[in-house]
Structure formats: structure tokens, C-alpha cells
Amino acid sequence: MTEITTMTVRELSRAMEAGQLTSEEITRSYLTSIDENDGKVNGYITVTPEAALEAARAADKARREGKNAPLLGVPAAIKDNICTKGLKTTCASKMLGNFVPPYDATVMEKLNAQTVPVLGKVNMDEFAMGSSTENSAFKITHNPRDTERVPGGSSGGSAAVVAANEAPFALGSDTGGSIRQPAAFCGVVGMKPTYGRVSRYGLVAFASSLDQIGPLTKNVEDNALVLNAIAGYDRRDATSVNNEYPDFTSQIGRDVKGLKIGLLKQSFGQGISGEVKSSVLNAARVFEKLGAETVELSMPSLEKALPAYYVISSAEASSNLARFDGVRYGYRSENYSDITELYRNSRSEGFGPEVKRRIMLGTFALSSGYYDAYYKKALQMRTIIMNEYERIFESCDVILSPVAPTVAYKIGEKSQNPLEMYLGDIYTVPVNIGGIPSLSLPCGSDSDGLPIGMQLMGRHFDEATLYRAGAAFEAENGAYHLERGAF
């Protein structure tokens, strides 16, 4: 049999169904892989071998009793901003370095219902603010495809552990590209679902109107299987949408004949690497070969999405992070003489530089005299962008674009230039502003063998079409991310 840690979620599930493997065997294999490889990757903040093996044994018992579920006994890694009852949830911040939630996030309740062993919590940019996983308070995660490079962010740990065969799948969160960009940099598949598709209850908030939890996997079918497990209405999340939740795997295997795929001309202009551009345009030709039609479209407001995003997200971060004051939970400074000094010192010492930068940006944008000039205008731009997406989807079924203008860059290369790093989000942030779904998957590699990702964007609640198109491309083009062995 193929080495366990290189198998897909579907392969693992079928092997357990057939009695060829047990969940305990699978979980032990992944724990061994973590022991052997994570010193080079630094993907995990917390590893939970005892709890994972206990859950694996419970899954094996359930299977012997005739129970079955697509993810039953398949282990997972969880981004460390998703609350896990009894297990540290740090957001990769000194502020929450010892925080143990008293409850599970809804997505964790859904995984627990299928008896998914949790291998551990994975690294991220602090409070999900960053694009490289260099902003963690604890460690820098390395890209398994080239350990001198970043894995992307903020869900860099989630993408890295899947690429390094240290987990068959992982959960991440995406506020402006934080699932899709690390998926592209590490050569795996990542989905940012429609806003409201997956409950945010138990996700530590960065920007509440933009955040969305989603899966990172080795291939497209696995991604759809995981989204099936975590999607659904939740009355505890006021933004959760109560509508039909289809089987996201239902269209996988269908051809793409007749699909109209839009290419936004603004996505292929200045600033994009030649190899990324040619790889994504080659992907468009693959779709044409498969019977899809490509059409060139324009989104005039694409360039304005980036400044609008940084105003909206920073303003919401400023508000959301006000709760971390050193009083009820989290880091508390020992150096204070009154309550004002307690707040100031706890926050100054507990938050890292990038988080403080965004809090200050957001507080400024919301302050008296600047609210109308910045925040109100950003919200108006959001409406324009949403209307442009509606217009574009009258002419096509799917939009194809790059995920990032470049491949993964060297660790430290952009950390002293936050503006340059922010510009790397230009293709991903419009999706969050519009609330639409987007699937990131590998479409090739550059001359150094580094993965290049493309993203497929769809209408609200039409993830199934994205999976259909992504799986068809994968079947035709081969899957870079399925090359055996990350090192």
C-alpha cells in the first residue's frame, strides 16, 4: 500500500472502510511524520498525541459497530484561532499564550461528530494579520517546498502541514486571502467559502464582515468532502445563512463543456511575475481544450479593493481586539499602578508589531473627523465591488485569476516592508469584500520548481461549480501537490 501520509482523505476513508487500515494506524503515522519533519517546517504550535490517539481508537470502535461517515477516523490539523475546548488556542500571540477555551467552535463540533482525531493546532500570523506566517509570536513556519521560503499566511501552518504530509487536511481562516495564498505558495488546495456558508462561532474574530473558515487539502475532491462536513446553518452566528447545503462533491467528475470562464484583464497587468501570468493563462487554455469558453472581462474597481480592504479590516480589528485588555483573560502586564496603565502595558506587551500597526490604522480610520473620509468611503467601495461581481457573473460562470503576483518569497525578504507585503493581496481581497467563494489550486510551477496557484471564483453559494471546474482541471493537467514527498 502507498505510504499512509501521502494518501488523500478519500483514500484513507476507503482504506478504513475496507478494513485495510485503522484510524489508530493512520494517526500514529501522522504523529511520526510530525516528529520527523516538523523541526524543519515549524507548522505546529501544539501537538496532541494522546487526545488524537484516543479519538482514533473511538473512531475504530464506531466503525466496528457499523457506523460510517466520510471523515470518520481521518486526522486533522486546526488553525490556532479556532476554539478547541480544553486545548490551547493562542492565535499565535503572546496575548493568548495560555488561553484554553471552555467551548468548541461550531466547526469543531461538526468534526467531533464525525470522530475526527485532532493532531494539534497549527501556526499562523498573529491574530491572522499577515501574509507570510512570520508574524507569529512563537516561531516562523517554513515552506515544505523550499524551507528558506515563507509558506504564505495567515494560514501558513495549515497549508504547510498538509504539503509536508503532517496532516491529511487542515482548517484555516480567510479574511483577505489567508487560505488561498498559502495554498498557492505550498502547492495544495484551499477554499474560501461564501460568507455565511460556514459558521464563524468560535473563530477568534479579526474582521467579522470578512472572516470565513475553510479547508486546505491535497486535492479538490478532499476539499469538497471537508466542506460538506463543516458547512451549515448555525443560529449562534448571526451572519450564518440558512439555505440549502448541497453535497459539494456532487458535480466532481462532470465535464466543463459550456462553462464560461472570465479572465479579468486587470488581473494580468503590471506587477505580476511572467511565470505566474503564463501559468494561469495556460490554465485558461486547458479549460478551452476541455470545452469551456473563456471571455475577457473588466473589473474597473479591482485596484481600489486593496485600500478598501485594509481600511475595513483594520477598523474591524481595532474594534474586535479591544476586548483584550488584561482583565478577564489573556496576557496581563505585571508593570502597572492604575487601570489605565494596566490596559496600556498589557496591550503594548501582549500584541506584536503587525497587530499594533493594524489596530492603530483602524482606530485612526474610525476616529472623529476621519470616519467619513476613510471608513465610510471604504464601505461605499465595497458596494461598488459587490455590484461589479454581480455584473460580471451575468457574463460568465467562473472567474479565473492568479492567487498572488509571485511565488513564495524568501523568509525575511518582505518583513521590513509591510506595504510591499500588503500589495501581494491584490488578487485575493476582492473576493472577501464581495463575499463570494473562491478555490485556490496549483496550476504549475516556476523554473525553480516552486508552486504557482490559480483561483476560481464563483457566484454566491456556488462552490459546487468551482469544485467541478477545479477537479476537471486537476484530472487533465495532473496535480502538482500530489507529488509524493515534500522534502
Within 13 Å and on the Cβ side, how many CA atoms surround 196? 14
Whole-prediction pTM: 0.97
- Answer yes or no: is 465 within a domain: no
Residue-by-residue DSSP string for 75-105:
-EEEETTB-BTTB---TTSGGGTT---SS--
Which CATH number fits the domain that encloses residue 170?
3.90.1300.10
Task: Say whether pLDDT at 329 is over 90.
Answer: no
pLDDT in tens, 68-121: 999 999 999 999 999 999 999 999 999 999 999 999 999 999 999 999 999 999
- Answer yes or no: is 189 within a domain: yes
Q: pLDDT class for 480, splitting at 50, 70, 90?
A: low
> Which whole number is the average pLDDT over 286-305?
96
Exposed, middle or buried: residue 474 (CB in 10 Å: 0-12, 13-18, 19+)? buried
> Which whole number is the average pLDDT over 193-203?
98
Helix, coil or strand: residue 231: strand
CA 80 vs. chain centroid, Å, equals 12
Q: Specify whether the CB–CB gap between 217 and 5 falls below 8 A.
A: no
Mean pLDDT, the chain, rounded, equals 96
Cis peptide before 154 (omega within 30 of 0): yes
- Answer yes or no: is 275 within a domain: no
Number of domains present in the structure of the chain: 1
pLDDT in tens, 248-273: 999 999 999 999 999 999 999 889 99
- Answer yes or no: is 132 within a domain: yes
Task: Say whether pLDDT at 407 is over 50.
Answer: yes
Identify residue 104 by its one-letter amino acid code.
Answer: D
Q: Which domain holds residue 27?
A: 4-253
Q: What is the pLDDT, as a whole number, of residue 418?
A: 85
pLDDT in tens, 205-237: 999 999 999 999 999 999 999 999 999 999 999
- Answer yes or no: is 134 within a domain: yes
Task: Say whether pLDDT at 481 is over 60.
Answer: no
Q: Which residues are catalytic?
A: 79, 154, 178
> Which whole number is the average pLDDT over 182-198?
98
Q: Specify whether the CB–CB gap between 128 and 169 falls below 8 A.
A: no
- Answer yes or no: is 271 within a domain: no
Q: How many other C-beta atoms are found inside a 10 Å radius of the C-beta of residue 35? A: 12
- Residue 237 has phi, psi (to 5 degrees) of -115, 110
| Grid cell of 302 as nine digits | 479591482
Task: Say whether pLDDT at 2 is over 90.
Answer: no
- Answer yes or no: is 388 within a domain: no
SS3 content of the chain, % helix, strand, coil (to 5): 45, 15, 45
- Answer yes or no: is 293 within a domain: no
Q: What is the pLDDT, as a whole number, of residue 81?
A: 98
Q: What is the pLDDT, as a whole number, of residue 487?
A: 47
